[in-house]
Amino acid sequence: MAEVAREKKLPVDDKIHTWPHLVRMEFLVTLFVLVALTLWALTVDAPLEEPANPTRTPNPSKAPWYFLGLQEMLVYFDPWHAGVVLPSLIIVGLMVIPYIDINSRGNGYYCFKDRKWEILTFFLGFHILWITMIMIGTFFRGPGWNLFWPWQKWDPHKVVALTNVDLPYLVGFRDYWWSAAFSLVMIGIYFIATIALFYFFVLKVKGKAFLERWGLVRFSITAVLISLMLALPAKMALRLLFNVKYILVTPWINV
Amino acid sequence: MAFLDQIKKDIVESHVWKSIFRHGYDDTPRNRVMMVTSNVFLHLHPAKVRRHAVRMRFTWCMGGLTFLMFLVTVVTGIYLMFYYRPVAEYAYADMKYLDNDMPFGMLMRNMHRWAAHAMIVFVWLHMFRVFLTGSYKPPREFNWVVGVLLLVLTLLLSFTGYLLPWDQLAIWAVTVGSNMARATPLLGYEGPFADFVGANPIYDARAFLFGGGEIGPHTLLRFYILHCIFIPFVASVLMAVHFWRIRRDGFSGPSL
Protein backbone atom coordinates (compact mmCIF):
# COMPACT_ATOMS: atom_id res chain seq x y z
CA MET A 1 0.00 0.00 0.00
CA ALA A 2 2.74 2.38 1.02
CA GLU A 3 4.56 1.59 -2.22
CA VAL A 4 1.54 2.62 -4.28
CA ALA A 5 1.13 5.85 -2.35
CA ARG A 6 4.77 6.74 -2.96
CA GLU A 7 4.51 6.08 -6.64
CA LYS A 8 1.52 8.35 -6.85
CA LYS A 9 3.33 11.16 -5.09
CA LEU A 10 6.26 11.19 -7.50
CA PRO A 11 5.23 11.95 -11.05
CA VAL A 12 7.30 10.27 -13.76
CA ASP A 13 7.85 13.58 -15.51
CA ASP A 14 8.01 16.65 -13.30
CA LYS A 15 9.36 18.90 -16.03
CA ILE A 16 8.00 22.30 -16.90
CA HIS A 17 8.66 24.48 -19.92
CA THR A 18 11.75 26.67 -19.79
CA TRP A 19 9.73 29.33 -21.58
CA PRO A 20 8.05 30.95 -19.75
CA HIS A 21 8.87 29.55 -16.31
CA LEU A 22 12.67 29.73 -16.15
CA VAL A 23 13.12 32.58 -18.63
CA ARG A 24 10.67 34.77 -16.72
CA MET A 25 12.55 34.12 -13.48
CA GLU A 26 15.90 34.91 -15.07
CA PHE A 27 14.53 38.07 -16.64
CA LEU A 28 13.11 39.39 -13.37
CA VAL A 29 16.25 38.59 -11.37
CA THR A 30 18.44 40.17 -14.06
CA LEU A 31 16.31 43.29 -14.03
CA PHE A 32 16.38 43.52 -10.25
CA VAL A 33 20.14 43.00 -9.99
CA LEU A 34 20.92 45.45 -12.79
CA VAL A 35 18.79 48.13 -11.12
CA ALA A 36 20.50 47.46 -7.79
CA LEU A 37 23.94 47.57 -9.40
CA THR A 38 23.15 50.81 -11.23
CA LEU A 39 21.87 52.47 -8.05
CA TRP A 40 24.96 51.33 -6.21
CA ALA A 41 27.21 52.62 -9.00
CA LEU A 42 25.39 55.95 -8.96
CA THR A 43 25.86 56.42 -5.23
CA VAL A 44 29.28 54.89 -4.50
CA ASP A 45 32.26 55.94 -6.57
CA ALA A 46 35.07 53.54 -7.39
CA PRO A 47 38.24 54.60 -5.57
CA LEU A 48 40.96 56.54 -7.34
CA GLU A 49 43.91 57.63 -5.25
CA GLU A 50 46.86 59.80 -6.20
CA PRO A 51 49.00 58.74 -9.18
CA ALA A 52 51.18 55.68 -8.87
CA ASN A 53 54.46 56.45 -7.17
CA PRO A 54 56.90 53.55 -6.85
CA THR A 55 59.00 55.49 -4.35
CA ARG A 56 56.20 55.95 -1.79
CA THR A 57 55.05 52.72 -0.18
CA PRO A 58 51.80 53.12 1.74
CA ASN A 59 51.66 51.56 5.17
CA PRO A 60 49.89 49.16 5.26
CA SER A 61 49.99 47.93 1.67
CA LYS A 62 47.02 45.69 1.30
CA ALA A 63 46.29 43.27 -1.54
CA PRO A 64 42.78 43.36 -3.05
CA TRP A 65 40.27 42.20 -0.45
CA TYR A 66 39.73 38.77 -2.00
CA PHE A 67 43.43 37.98 -1.56
CA LEU A 68 43.67 39.30 2.00
CA GLY A 69 43.16 35.76 3.31
CA LEU A 70 46.44 34.84 1.64
CA GLN A 71 48.16 38.00 2.87
CA GLU A 72 46.94 37.24 6.37
CA MET A 73 48.46 33.77 6.14
CA LEU A 74 51.83 35.46 5.55
CA VAL A 75 51.79 36.32 9.25
CA TYR A 76 52.02 32.65 10.09
CA PHE A 77 53.97 31.19 7.18
CA ASP A 78 56.76 32.27 4.84
CA PRO A 79 55.72 33.57 1.40
CA TRP A 80 56.70 30.41 -0.48
CA HIS A 81 54.29 28.50 1.74
CA ALA A 82 51.45 30.98 2.36
CA GLY A 83 51.61 32.58 -1.06
CA VAL A 84 52.41 29.70 -3.38
CA VAL A 85 52.03 26.26 -1.84
CA LEU A 86 48.86 26.82 0.18
CA PRO A 87 46.93 28.61 -2.61
CA SER A 88 47.89 25.83 -5.02
CA LEU A 89 46.72 23.29 -2.48
CA ILE A 90 43.43 25.15 -2.03
CA ILE A 91 42.82 25.00 -5.79
CA VAL A 92 43.84 21.36 -6.08
CA GLY A 93 41.91 20.50 -2.93
CA LEU A 94 38.74 22.07 -4.33
CA MET A 95 39.20 20.23 -7.62
CA VAL A 96 39.48 16.79 -6.05
CA ILE A 97 36.32 17.19 -3.94
CA PRO A 98 34.04 15.34 -6.42
CA TYR A 99 36.51 12.47 -6.63
CA ILE A 100 37.08 11.92 -2.93
CA ASP A 101 33.46 12.40 -1.90
CA ILE A 102 31.82 9.09 -2.78
CA ASN A 103 28.79 9.61 -0.57
CA SER A 104 25.91 9.12 -3.02
CA ARG A 105 23.43 10.80 -0.69
CA GLY A 106 22.51 14.42 -1.17
CA ASN A 107 23.05 14.49 -4.94
CA GLY A 108 20.98 17.41 -6.14
CA TYR A 109 19.11 18.43 -3.02
CA TYR A 110 19.80 20.06 0.33
CA CYS A 111 20.43 17.71 3.20
CA PHE A 112 22.57 18.06 6.25
CA LYS A 113 21.98 14.76 8.03
CA ASP A 114 23.48 12.45 5.42
CA ARG A 115 26.43 14.69 4.62
CA LYS A 116 27.19 16.17 8.01
CA TRP A 117 30.99 15.77 7.93
CA GLU A 118 31.40 16.80 4.31
CA ILE A 119 29.47 20.01 4.89
CA LEU A 120 31.27 20.75 8.16
CA THR A 121 34.64 20.32 6.46
CA PHE A 122 33.65 22.74 3.72
CA PHE A 123 32.34 25.09 6.37
CA LEU A 124 35.66 24.96 8.22
CA GLY A 125 37.70 25.62 5.09
CA PHE A 126 35.51 28.23 3.44
CA HIS A 127 33.72 30.11 6.21
CA ILE A 128 35.96 29.72 9.22
CA LEU A 129 39.38 29.87 7.59
CA TRP A 130 39.02 31.71 4.25
CA ILE A 131 36.33 34.26 5.12
CA THR A 132 37.60 34.90 8.65
CA MET A 133 41.12 35.53 7.38
CA ILE A 134 39.75 37.99 4.83
CA MET A 135 37.77 39.76 7.59
CA ILE A 136 40.85 40.01 9.82
CA GLY A 137 42.99 41.26 6.94
CA THR A 138 40.39 43.80 5.85
CA PHE A 139 39.17 45.24 9.12
CA PHE A 140 41.74 44.45 11.79
CA ARG A 141 45.11 45.13 10.19
CA GLY A 142 46.78 48.52 10.20
CA PRO A 143 50.28 49.94 9.74
CA GLY A 144 53.04 47.39 10.04
CA TRP A 145 50.33 44.74 9.61
CA ASN A 146 49.65 45.15 13.33
CA LEU A 147 46.28 44.36 14.84
CA PHE A 148 43.93 47.30 15.31
CA TRP A 149 40.26 47.49 16.13
CA PRO A 150 38.22 48.95 13.29
CA TRP A 151 37.36 52.01 15.40
CA GLN A 152 40.90 52.42 16.73
CA LYS A 153 43.15 55.11 15.27
CA TRP A 154 45.94 53.66 13.15
CA ASP A 155 49.16 54.47 14.95
CA PRO A 156 52.10 53.97 12.57
CA HIS A 157 54.48 54.01 15.54
CA LYS A 158 52.72 51.30 17.50
CA VAL A 159 55.35 49.27 19.28
CA VAL A 160 54.90 45.54 19.26
CA ALA A 161 57.46 43.42 21.09
CA LEU A 162 59.01 40.80 18.82
CA THR A 163 59.08 37.92 21.24
CA ASN A 164 58.58 35.10 18.79
CA VAL A 165 61.02 32.23 18.98
CA ASP A 166 61.36 29.02 17.04
CA LEU A 167 59.81 25.91 18.48
CA PRO A 168 63.08 23.99 19.10
CA TYR A 169 64.49 27.05 20.92
CA LEU A 170 61.37 27.29 23.04
CA VAL A 171 61.76 23.69 24.15
CA GLY A 172 65.42 24.22 24.95
CA PHE A 173 67.40 23.09 21.91
CA ARG A 174 70.32 25.35 21.00
CA ASP A 175 72.30 23.15 18.62
CA TYR A 176 71.31 23.43 14.95
CA TRP A 177 71.31 19.71 14.17
CA TRP A 178 69.42 18.73 17.30
CA SER A 179 66.93 21.50 16.59
CA ALA A 180 66.41 20.34 13.02
CA ALA A 181 66.03 16.73 14.11
CA PHE A 182 63.52 17.72 16.77
CA SER A 183 61.59 19.83 14.26
CA LEU A 184 61.41 17.04 11.71
CA VAL A 185 60.24 14.61 14.37
CA MET A 186 57.56 17.08 15.51
CA ILE A 187 56.34 17.60 11.94
CA GLY A 188 56.34 13.84 11.39
CA ILE A 189 54.38 13.33 14.59
CA TYR A 190 51.89 16.01 13.55
CA PHE A 191 51.16 14.33 10.24
CA ILE A 192 51.09 10.80 11.62
CA ALA A 193 48.83 11.89 14.48
CA THR A 194 46.36 13.86 12.35
CA ILE A 195 46.19 11.15 9.71
CA ALA A 196 45.74 8.45 12.36
CA LEU A 197 43.09 10.51 14.13
CA PHE A 198 41.36 11.08 10.82
CA TYR A 199 41.46 7.33 10.13
CA PHE A 200 39.86 6.41 13.43
CA PHE A 201 37.39 9.24 13.10
CA VAL A 202 36.25 8.01 9.70
CA LEU A 203 36.14 4.46 11.05
CA LYS A 204 33.90 5.62 13.87
CA VAL A 205 31.45 7.86 12.01
CA LYS A 206 31.37 6.09 8.63
CA GLY A 207 32.27 2.49 9.44
CA LYS A 208 34.65 -0.12 8.06
CA ALA A 209 32.57 -0.88 4.98
CA PHE A 210 32.83 2.76 3.91
CA LEU A 211 36.60 2.82 4.37
CA GLU A 212 36.97 -0.27 2.18
CA ARG A 213 34.76 1.25 -0.47
CA TRP A 214 36.67 4.54 -0.18
CA GLY A 215 39.99 2.93 -0.99
CA LEU A 216 43.56 3.77 -0.02
CA VAL A 217 44.15 6.46 -2.65
CA ARG A 218 41.07 8.50 -1.80
CA PHE A 219 41.73 8.12 1.90
CA SER A 220 45.36 9.22 1.58
CA ILE A 221 44.59 12.28 -0.52
CA THR A 222 41.82 13.36 1.82
CA ALA A 223 43.88 12.71 4.94
CA VAL A 224 46.88 14.67 3.65
CA LEU A 225 44.71 17.59 2.52
CA ILE A 226 42.89 17.67 5.85
CA SER A 227 46.09 17.64 7.88
CA LEU A 228 47.52 20.40 5.69
CA MET A 229 44.37 22.44 6.14
CA LEU A 230 44.47 21.93 9.91
CA ALA A 231 48.13 22.96 9.89
CA LEU A 232 46.98 26.57 9.46
CA PRO A 233 44.92 26.80 12.67
CA ALA A 234 47.58 24.67 14.40
CA LYS A 235 50.33 27.12 13.48
CA MET A 236 48.08 30.05 14.39
CA ALA A 237 47.50 28.53 17.82
CA LEU A 238 51.23 27.96 18.33
CA ARG A 239 51.93 31.56 17.36
CA LEU A 240 49.18 33.20 19.34
CA LEU A 241 49.53 31.08 22.47
CA PHE A 242 53.25 30.33 22.60
CA ASN A 243 54.84 32.97 20.31
CA VAL A 244 56.29 30.30 18.08
CA LYS A 245 57.82 31.75 14.92
CA TYR A 246 58.94 28.67 13.02
CA ILE A 247 58.66 24.98 13.67
CA LEU A 248 61.48 24.01 11.36
CA VAL A 249 64.40 26.25 10.44
CA THR A 250 66.84 25.28 7.70
CA PRO A 251 69.07 27.35 5.43
CA TRP A 252 66.60 26.73 2.56
CA ILE A 253 63.13 26.68 4.00
CA ASN A 254 61.42 27.62 7.23
CA VAL A 255 58.06 26.21 8.23
CA MET B 1 -8.74 50.01 -36.51
CA ALA B 2 -9.35 47.68 -39.38
CA PHE B 3 -6.82 49.72 -41.25
CA LEU B 4 -4.18 49.24 -38.55
CA ASP B 5 -4.93 45.53 -38.32
CA GLN B 6 -4.42 45.28 -42.04
CA ILE B 7 -1.02 47.00 -41.78
CA LYS B 8 0.00 44.73 -38.93
CA LYS B 9 -1.06 41.71 -40.92
CA ASP B 10 0.89 42.93 -43.93
CA ILE B 11 4.04 43.37 -41.86
CA VAL B 12 3.83 40.16 -39.88
CA GLU B 13 3.09 38.07 -42.94
CA SER B 14 5.65 39.76 -45.12
CA HIS B 15 8.55 37.83 -46.61
CA VAL B 16 11.10 39.81 -44.59
CA TRP B 17 9.36 39.50 -41.23
CA LYS B 18 8.83 35.76 -41.58
CA SER B 19 12.45 35.25 -42.50
CA ILE B 20 13.50 36.82 -39.17
CA PHE B 21 10.81 35.67 -36.74
CA ARG B 22 9.78 32.10 -37.30
CA HIS B 23 6.99 31.94 -34.72
CA GLY B 24 4.85 34.24 -32.62
CA TYR B 25 3.99 34.29 -28.97
CA ASP B 26 1.15 31.76 -29.10
CA ASP B 27 1.00 30.01 -25.78
CA THR B 28 1.00 26.47 -27.06
CA PRO B 29 3.30 23.68 -25.84
CA ARG B 30 4.91 23.50 -29.27
CA ASN B 31 5.56 27.21 -29.35
CA ARG B 32 6.99 27.20 -25.85
CA VAL B 33 9.58 24.67 -26.97
CA MET B 34 10.26 26.64 -30.15
CA MET B 35 10.92 29.77 -28.10
CA VAL B 36 13.94 28.08 -26.58
CA THR B 37 15.20 25.82 -29.35
CA SER B 38 15.05 28.41 -32.13
CA ASN B 39 16.82 31.15 -30.17
CA VAL B 40 20.58 30.96 -29.98
CA PHE B 41 20.73 32.70 -26.58
CA LEU B 42 17.86 30.91 -24.90
CA HIS B 43 19.21 27.72 -26.40
CA LEU B 44 21.65 27.67 -23.46
CA HIS B 45 18.68 26.12 -21.68
CA PRO B 46 17.04 22.82 -22.33
CA ALA B 47 13.46 23.20 -23.60
CA LYS B 48 12.11 21.77 -20.39
CA VAL B 49 13.54 21.83 -16.89
CA ARG B 50 12.62 20.03 -13.74
CA ARG B 51 10.23 21.91 -11.52
CA HIS B 52 12.52 22.21 -8.49
CA ALA B 53 15.43 23.57 -10.54
CA VAL B 54 13.54 26.76 -11.33
CA ARG B 55 13.03 27.67 -7.69
CA MET B 56 15.23 30.41 -6.37
CA ARG B 57 15.73 28.70 -3.04
CA PHE B 58 17.35 25.80 -4.89
CA THR B 59 19.80 27.69 -7.12
CA TRP B 60 20.03 31.08 -5.36
CA CYS B 61 20.44 32.27 -9.00
CA MET B 62 24.12 32.58 -8.24
CA GLY B 63 25.59 30.86 -11.29
CA GLY B 64 23.44 32.91 -13.63
CA LEU B 65 24.20 36.12 -11.75
CA THR B 66 27.93 35.43 -11.95
CA PHE B 67 27.53 35.21 -15.72
CA LEU B 68 25.40 38.38 -15.70
CA MET B 69 28.16 40.22 -13.82
CA PHE B 70 30.64 38.95 -16.39
CA LEU B 71 28.45 40.39 -19.16
CA VAL B 72 28.14 43.71 -17.33
CA THR B 73 31.93 43.97 -17.02
CA VAL B 74 32.31 43.10 -20.71
CA VAL B 75 29.89 45.81 -21.81
CA THR B 76 31.17 48.51 -19.45
CA GLY B 77 34.74 47.35 -20.07
CA ILE B 78 34.43 47.88 -23.80
CA TYR B 79 33.17 51.40 -23.12
CA LEU B 80 36.16 52.07 -20.86
CA MET B 81 38.58 50.71 -23.44
CA PHE B 82 37.61 53.48 -25.84
CA TYR B 83 39.06 56.07 -23.48
CA TYR B 84 41.85 54.31 -21.69
CA ARG B 85 45.46 53.93 -22.83
CA PRO B 86 47.58 51.31 -21.03
CA VAL B 87 50.64 53.55 -21.07
CA ALA B 88 52.20 54.75 -17.83
CA GLU B 89 52.26 58.41 -18.96
CA TYR B 90 48.59 58.47 -19.94
CA ALA B 91 46.79 55.83 -17.86
CA TYR B 92 46.14 57.94 -14.76
CA ALA B 93 45.22 61.04 -16.79
CA ASP B 94 42.78 58.93 -18.77
CA MET B 95 41.17 57.81 -15.50
CA LYS B 96 40.70 61.44 -14.50
CA TYR B 97 39.30 62.22 -17.92
CA LEU B 98 36.92 59.25 -17.69
CA ASP B 99 35.75 60.29 -14.24
CA ASN B 100 35.25 63.97 -14.89
CA ASP B 101 34.70 64.66 -18.57
CA MET B 102 33.36 61.59 -20.32
CA PRO B 103 29.60 61.21 -20.57
CA PHE B 104 28.67 58.42 -18.18
CA GLY B 105 32.39 57.71 -17.71
CA MET B 106 32.22 57.63 -13.93
CA LEU B 107 29.05 55.54 -13.98
CA MET B 108 30.60 53.02 -16.37
CA ARG B 109 33.75 52.78 -14.27
CA ASN B 110 31.74 52.37 -11.07
CA MET B 111 29.56 49.69 -12.61
CA HIS B 112 32.63 47.91 -13.95
CA ARG B 113 34.33 47.84 -10.60
CA TRP B 114 31.33 46.95 -8.46
CA ALA B 115 30.19 44.29 -10.90
CA ALA B 116 33.67 42.77 -10.75
CA HIS B 117 33.52 42.64 -6.95
CA ALA B 118 29.98 41.29 -7.05
CA MET B 119 31.12 38.62 -9.51
CA ILE B 120 33.65 37.34 -6.97
CA VAL B 121 31.07 37.23 -4.19
CA PHE B 122 28.54 35.54 -6.46
CA VAL B 123 31.00 32.94 -7.70
CA TRP B 124 31.90 32.03 -4.11
CA LEU B 125 28.24 31.78 -3.17
CA HIS B 126 27.60 29.71 -6.30
CA MET B 127 30.33 27.30 -5.26
CA PHE B 128 28.89 27.14 -1.75
CA ARG B 129 25.40 26.40 -3.08
CA VAL B 130 26.69 23.72 -5.47
CA PHE B 131 28.48 22.13 -2.55
CA LEU B 132 25.38 22.23 -0.35
CA THR B 133 23.18 20.57 -2.96
CA GLY B 134 25.89 18.04 -3.78
CA SER B 135 25.61 19.02 -7.42
CA TYR B 136 29.22 18.02 -8.10
CA LYS B 137 28.34 14.38 -7.60
CA PRO B 138 28.22 11.97 -10.55
CA PRO B 139 27.85 12.64 -13.41
CA ARG B 140 28.89 16.27 -12.83
CA GLU B 141 32.34 15.79 -11.22
CA PHE B 142 34.31 17.31 -14.07
CA ASN B 143 32.07 20.33 -14.34
CA TRP B 144 33.01 21.18 -10.76
CA VAL B 145 36.67 21.08 -11.81
CA VAL B 146 35.91 23.47 -14.69
CA GLY B 147 34.07 25.63 -12.16
CA VAL B 148 37.14 25.79 -9.90
CA LEU B 149 39.21 26.93 -12.88
CA LEU B 150 36.61 29.61 -13.60
CA LEU B 151 36.76 30.68 -9.96
CA VAL B 152 40.53 31.15 -10.26
CA LEU B 153 40.11 33.04 -13.54
CA THR B 154 37.51 35.31 -11.94
CA LEU B 155 40.01 36.23 -9.24
CA LEU B 156 42.76 36.77 -11.81
CA LEU B 157 40.48 38.92 -13.96
CA SER B 158 39.76 41.14 -11.00
CA PHE B 159 43.38 41.20 -9.92
CA THR B 160 44.77 42.18 -13.33
CA GLY B 161 42.12 44.90 -13.61
CA TYR B 162 43.19 46.26 -10.23
CA LEU B 163 46.44 47.60 -11.68
CA LEU B 164 44.95 49.52 -14.61
CA PRO B 165 43.91 52.79 -12.84
CA TRP B 166 47.65 53.25 -12.22
CA ASP B 167 47.14 54.98 -8.89
CA GLN B 168 48.74 54.27 -5.52
CA LEU B 169 46.03 51.75 -4.60
CA ALA B 170 46.62 49.89 -7.86
CA ILE B 171 50.39 49.50 -7.93
CA TRP B 172 50.78 48.71 -4.25
CA ALA B 173 47.93 46.20 -4.07
CA VAL B 174 49.33 44.46 -7.13
CA THR B 175 52.86 44.66 -5.71
CA VAL B 176 51.75 42.97 -2.52
CA GLY B 177 49.66 40.43 -4.42
CA SER B 178 52.46 39.56 -6.82
CA ASN B 179 55.28 39.46 -4.30
CA MET B 180 54.24 35.90 -3.60
CA ALA B 181 55.46 34.98 -7.08
CA ARG B 182 59.05 35.84 -6.22
CA ALA B 183 58.85 33.32 -3.37
CA THR B 184 57.82 30.45 -5.65
CA PRO B 185 59.99 27.46 -4.84
CA LEU B 186 62.65 27.01 -7.53
CA LEU B 187 61.19 29.68 -9.85
CA GLY B 188 61.17 32.79 -7.65
CA TYR B 189 64.42 34.47 -6.71
CA GLU B 190 63.49 34.71 -3.02
CA GLY B 191 61.95 31.26 -2.93
CA PRO B 192 63.58 28.12 -1.62
CA PHE B 193 66.12 26.46 -3.92
CA ALA B 194 66.21 29.45 -6.30
CA ASP B 195 70.02 29.11 -6.57
CA PHE B 196 69.74 25.69 -8.14
CA VAL B 197 67.68 27.12 -10.99
CA GLY B 198 69.51 30.42 -11.21
CA ALA B 199 66.45 32.58 -10.62
CA ASN B 200 67.30 36.25 -10.04
CA PRO B 201 65.26 39.45 -9.65
CA ILE B 202 65.03 40.07 -13.37
CA TYR B 203 64.69 36.45 -14.38
CA ASP B 204 62.14 34.62 -12.26
CA ALA B 205 58.42 33.89 -11.92
CA ARG B 206 57.52 37.42 -10.84
CA ALA B 207 59.60 39.01 -13.59
CA PHE B 208 57.71 36.84 -16.07
CA LEU B 209 54.44 38.12 -14.64
CA PHE B 210 55.60 41.73 -14.55
CA GLY B 211 57.57 41.75 -17.78
CA GLY B 212 60.55 43.01 -15.78
CA GLY B 213 62.09 43.11 -12.34
CA GLU B 214 59.73 45.76 -10.96
CA ILE B 215 56.20 46.95 -11.58
CA GLY B 216 56.45 49.44 -14.41
CA PRO B 217 55.02 50.49 -17.77
CA HIS B 218 55.71 47.02 -19.19
CA THR B 219 53.60 45.52 -16.38
CA LEU B 220 50.75 47.87 -17.17
CA LEU B 221 50.62 46.74 -20.80
CA ARG B 222 51.00 43.11 -19.80
CA PHE B 223 48.18 43.24 -17.26
CA TYR B 224 46.02 45.19 -19.72
CA ILE B 225 46.29 42.46 -22.32
CA LEU B 226 45.78 39.74 -19.71
CA HIS B 227 42.76 41.62 -18.39
CA CYS B 228 41.08 42.56 -21.66
CA ILE B 229 41.99 39.73 -24.02
CA PHE B 230 43.73 36.72 -22.60
CA ILE B 231 41.80 35.85 -19.44
CA PRO B 232 38.34 36.78 -20.84
CA PHE B 233 39.12 34.58 -23.83
CA VAL B 234 40.14 31.59 -21.74
CA ALA B 235 37.24 32.18 -19.34
CA SER B 236 34.78 32.32 -22.25
CA VAL B 237 35.99 28.99 -23.57
CA LEU B 238 35.68 27.43 -20.12
CA MET B 239 32.26 29.02 -19.63
CA ALA B 240 31.10 27.44 -22.87
CA VAL B 241 32.27 24.07 -21.56
CA HIS B 242 30.70 24.73 -18.15
CA PHE B 243 27.29 25.69 -19.55
CA TRP B 244 27.29 23.00 -22.20
CA ARG B 245 27.93 20.31 -19.64
CA ILE B 246 25.07 21.57 -17.48
CA ARG B 247 22.91 21.47 -20.58
CA ARG B 248 23.94 17.88 -21.34
CA ASP B 249 23.69 16.55 -17.80
CA GLY B 250 20.62 18.57 -16.87
CA PHE B 251 20.14 20.48 -13.64
CA SER B 252 20.98 18.41 -10.63
CA GLY B 253 18.10 17.18 -8.56
CA PRO B 254 16.87 14.26 -6.52
CA SER B 255 16.33 11.16 -8.62
CA LEU B 256 12.70 10.46 -9.35
Give a yes or no: residue B33 inside a domain: yes
**Is there a domain that residue B134 lies in?**
yes
Q: Count of domains in chain B?
A: 2
Statement to judge: residues B124 and B224 lie in one domain:
yes
Question: Alpha helix locations (H) across chain B?
Answer: 2-12, 15-20, 29-37, 51-54, 56-59, 62-81, 88-100, 105-132, 141-163, 168-179, 194-197, 205-210, 217-225, 231-249
Report the pLDDT value the prediction gives residue A251, as an integer from 0 to 100. Answer: 85
**Rounded-to-integer distance, Cα A148 and Cα A142, Å:** 6
ipTM of the shown complex: 0.92
Helix (H) or strand (E) holding A35: helix A23-43
Cβ pair A52:B188 closer than 8 A: no
Mean pLDDT of all residues in A16-44: 95
Same domain, B154 and B101: yes
Q: List pLDDT tens digits, range A70-95.
A: 999 999 999 999 999 999 999 999 99
The answer, for A251 touching chain B at a CB cutoff of 8 Å, is no
Do B48 and B138 fall into the same domain?
Answer: no
Per residue in A106-158, pLDDT (tens digit) is 998 999 988 999 999 999 999 999 999 999 999 999 998 999 999 999 988 88
B147 within a domain of the structure (yes/no): yes
Smallest Cβ–Cβ distance between B184 and the set A33, A67, A84 belongs to: A84
Q: Report if residue B44 sits inside a domain.
A: yes
Q: Alpha-carbon distance B252 to A104, whole Å?
A: 13
Residue A108 to residue B134, Cβ atoms within 8 A: yes
Residues B107 and B37 in one domain: no
Report pTM. 0.92
Residue B15 forms part of a structural domain: no
CATH of residue B126: 1.20.810.10
C-alpha to C-alpha distance for A76 and A237, rounded to whole angstroms: 10
* Domain coverage including residue B135: 56-249
* Domain match, B48 and B171 both: no
Nearest-CB residue to B144 (from A98, A110, A111): A98
Judged by DSSP in three states, A17 sits in strand
Contact yes or no for B111 and A38 at CB 8 A = yes
Core vs surface per residue B117-144: b (16+ CB within 10 A) or e: ebbbebbbbbbbbbbbbbbbbeebeebb
Q: 3-class DSSP state for residue B44?
A: helix
Do B44 and B129 share a domain, yes or no?
A: no
Residue A20: asked if its preceding bond is cis (omega within 30°), the reply is yes
Residue B25's pLDDT is what?
83
Give the closest of B53, B134, B140 to A106, CB-based.
Answer: B134
Phi and psi, residue A16, nearest 5°: -125, 165
Q: Is the CB of B131 inside 8 Å of chain A's CB atoms? A: yes
Answer yes or no: do B115 and B196 share one domain: yes
For residue A7, what is the nearest residue in chain B, using CA coordinates? B256
Instruction: Verify that B104 and B35 share a domain, yes or no.
Output: no
Find the farthest-apart pair of alpha carbons in chain B and give their distance in angstroms, rounded.
Answer: 88
Residue B146 and residue B211 in one domain: yes
B124 belongs to a structural domain: yes
What's the pLDDT band for A8 if we cut at 50, 70, 90? Answer: low
Indicate if B223 and B103 belong to the same structural domain: yes
